[in-house]
Structure 1
Amino acid sequence: MSLMDISKIFSLLQPKEEDEDNEQCRALNNAVSSNDAALLSQLLFQEDYRRSINARSGWGVPVTPLRTAAALGHLRCLELLLEHGAEIDSLDVKAQTPLFTAVSGKHLDCVIALLKAGADPNGSQYNNCSPVLTAAREGDVHVLRELLRFGAEVDVRPKVPDWASNATACRGPLYLSAVYGHFECFKLLLIHGANPNYNCTDEKMLARIKQPKTVLEVCLRYGCGVEYVQLLIDFGADVFLPTVIVDKTMKQNEALVLLLKERVHPRTLMSETRLAIRSNLCFSDKEPAIDRLDVPLILRNYLKHISSDFNV
């Protein structure tokens, strides 16, 4: 992050002098904190209060009323603020948007409301983390599904400066969902187009890292179940890419046996066809693209990796 970026953050986050003792803003925040939608509505119909809708107040960490509503999960208050023009992607002192706060609090209804109102599903460019990374780490598959449905980057990675690039920078959502054992999130990310080989798609970043780990290697190293490895194989992971050294630290489990078996048994023609079709769909989010294909439902389900009678 450049010095200019840092300066911009501080300029955005420092409260203006006229906002320091802004009684209107405090009143709005108090109404939201109490989840008093009726009082909030009355206040917002007054011009003085509407002018303070994006102001910050509070001890220690000043926040906007919208950020308070998102953090507490007070949906009706959040909707009222949006209806009266609250800035949807305003930043707090941590450069977190209201959406990020709602995701962190696992407030699904608020997440959906913010996304429908136009919130950036990727959060703030000034924050190292992102809503997708947070949802994948916490295993919140419902929130993750909504973020991806509204166009969030599926292979997002932590934002670190080039000089600090290391293996940590490649720990994206697919990596996190595997390490923390969130299989449904892991599957959802792959369905929405996550790279099955490296969790980082930035070639320059990969080139700076000595021996970058593939997702397959991560799954083996952390003892993920065989279902993780099978899913990666089904989504086209290169089984010859990871360096597999069978030693005492490597768990001799079904996952490793499956990987070694796949190296000598080619994929079925059906499986190769599915991979070819998915790779030629010119959309980052494959699901809606597949739904538009003029093919039988059983084939669409197969392309979306929904259980069917096909022998794969």
Structure 2
Amino acid sequence: MKLVLLKSVKMNLMDITKIFSLLQPEREEEDTDKGEKQTLHQAIYDNDSYTLNQLLRQECYKRFINSRSGWGVHGTPLRLAASCGHLSCLQVLLAHGADVDSLDVKAQTPLFTAVSHGHLDCVRVLLEAGACPGGSIYNNCSPVLTAARDGTVDILQELLSHGAEPNVKAKLPVWASNIASCSGPLYLAAVYGHLDCFRLLLLHGADPDYNCTDQDLLARVPEPRTLIDTCLYHNCDPEYIQLLIDFGANIYLPSIPLGLTSQDDKGVALLMQARAIPRSLLSQARLVTRRVLHQAGQLQAIDQLDIPPVLISYLKYKP
């Protein structure tokens, strides 16, 4: 245990050092800035894309296009445009070569900022420009976790369509493994009552048992709470339980709370019914097919399968 903790501390110090090295302003910029940074930021704050474009045509301004400065939270001009939702300014900055994954003082990318503020159009443009859908490796959270918590299903769809991980975890230290094992986007969508996000995550391959594929993490937790357990504990609508069952959750993992019967809770009734009636062969075939495609990173290839359209719809959980 001591060696593990020492290793964890070492890695944390390395990450902190890396973050500070990334955020430290260039000395040359500090010595030569005569207000150009503030002028750039003012144009973005005013949503004046024309002026911004004219400024960036001049080298004395363009050299600060990725500089970290600003009001309140230090960040780049791109970060400011993303936080304000000023799409035209965002597009101008990208056209002039702004770093799409630049970090602010909290190690958050412009994409993370756009997701946090709910600016769908900015999210789309940043992703199309090559922004990492998972955000920064130096930040403890991720765009997917934020979208799942906030219930912004359109933004979540964009992130997942661009390859974001549906089983992503918040980055927490080893001693908080129990919390980390129950911090995936499915858990957040269930607890905050976002059924559309919950279903979308499952459609993109989120694990229906623990929303986790990290076996080392699960092994460190004596009794990790399953998603069905979580839904029952938080009195989620029975639709959540039914979706987990339909997407292949292990119905024998959850423990039914003492004193709770199927007459008391519709979710428990669904679970008990699923235990009493075996899955149909068609349902099992769907789960296996989707699992194989997901492992190959080809879930989107369902539409290309040489099978009748009615089966394609069934594989995609469409009515």
Q: What is the aligned partner in structure 2 of residue 247 from structure 1?
A: 259
CA distance in 2, matches of 1:22, 1:247: 71
Residue 295 of structure 1, CA deviation: 1.7
Deviates more, 1:271-280 or 1:107-116: 271-280
Aligned to 2:41: 29
Cα separation, partners in 2 of 1:118 and 1:126, compared to 1, 3 Å:
same
Aligned counterparts of 1:155 and 1:3: Cα–Cα separation in 2? 26
Task: Give TM-score scaled by structure 2 length.
Answer: 0.92
CA distance in structure 2 between the partners assigned to 1:149 and 1:252 by the alignment: 39
SS in 1 for 2:293: coil
What is the CA distance between 1:225 and its match in structure 2? 1.1
2:318 counterpart of 1:306: yes
Which shifted more, 253-262 or 95-104? 253-262
2:87 maps to 75
SS for the counterpart of 1:243 is coil
Correspondences of 1:103-182 after superposition (within 5 Å): 103-182=115-194
Are the equivalent residues in 2 in contact too, given 1:136–1:182 (CA < 8 A)?
Answer: yes
Structure 2 distance, partners of 1:194, 1:234, is 13
- Contact kept? 2:114, 2:123, Cα under 8 Å: yes
Give SS of 1:177's match: helix
**Partner Cα separation in structure 2 for residue 167 and residue 45 of structure 1:** 49
The root-mean-square deviation of aligned C-alpha atoms, in Å, is: 1.8
Amino acid at match of 1:135: A
Aligned twin of 2:21: 11
Asked if 1:234 is matched to 2:250, the reply is no
Q: State how far apart, in whole Å, the 2-side matches of 1:45 and 1:217 are.
A: 57
More displaced stretch, 264-273 vs 275-284 = 275-284
Q: Does the alignment pair 1:199 with 2:211?
A: yes
In structure 1, how many angstroms separate the alpha carbons of the residues matched to 2:307 and 2:130? 33
Query: What do the CA deviations read for 1:15-62 (whole angstroms, capped 9, x no partner)?
Result: 233434452221111101100011001111111111110012224432
Instruction: Kindly indicate whether residue 73 of structure 2 is the aligned counterpart of residue 61 of structure 1.
Output: yes
Instruction: Give every structure 1 segment of 4 or more consecutive aligned residues whose post-TM-superposition deviation is greater than 4 Å.
Output: 248-251, 282-287
Aligned partners of 2:72 and 2:285: how far apart in 1? 57
Contact 1:115 1:150 in 2 (8 A): yes
User: Gapped runs of 5+ residues in structure 2?
Assistant: 1-10
Question: SS at the partner of 1:237?
Answer: coil
Which has more helix, going by share of residues? 2
Q: Please, which moves more after superposition, 136-145 or 197-206?
A: 197-206
Deviation track 1:67-98 (CA, whole Å, cap 9, x = no partner) reads 00000110110011001110111110111000
Distance 1:22 1:227, change over 3 A: farther
The equivalent of 1:310 in structure 2 is none
Identify the residue that residue 4 of structure 2 maps to in structure 1.
Answer: none
Separation of aligned partners in 2, 1:61 and 1:149: 30
Shift of 1:247: 2.8
What are the residue-to-residue correspondences of 1:267-282 with 2, within 5 Å?
Answer: 267-282=279-294
Query: Structure 1 residues 150, 84: CA separation in 2 closer, same or farther (over 3 Å shift)?
Result: same
**Cα distance in 1, alignment partners of residues 29 and 68 from structure 2:** 7
Residue 106 (structure 2) pairs with residue 94 (structure 1): yes
Deviation per CA, 1:166-210: give whole Å up to 9, x if none. Answer: 234431001100111100000000000000111222111111112
Aligned-pair identity in percent equals 57
Query: How many residues are paired up?
Result: 307
Alignment of 1:291 with 2:290, yes or no, is no
Report how far residue 285 of structure 1 moved: 5.6
CA–CA distance in structure 2, aligned partners of residues 251 and 125 of structure 1: 46
TM-score by length of 1: 0.94
Conservation of the 8 A alpha-carbon contact between 2:177 and 2:221: yes
Q: Which moved more, 1:12-21 or 1:238-247?
A: 12-21
Task: Indicate conservation of the 8 Å contact 2:114/2:120, yes or no.
Answer: yes
CA distance in structure 2 between the aligned counterparts of 1:206 and 1:169, rounded to whole angstroms: 7
CA distance in structure 1 between the partners assigned to 2:153 and 2:72 by the alignment: 33
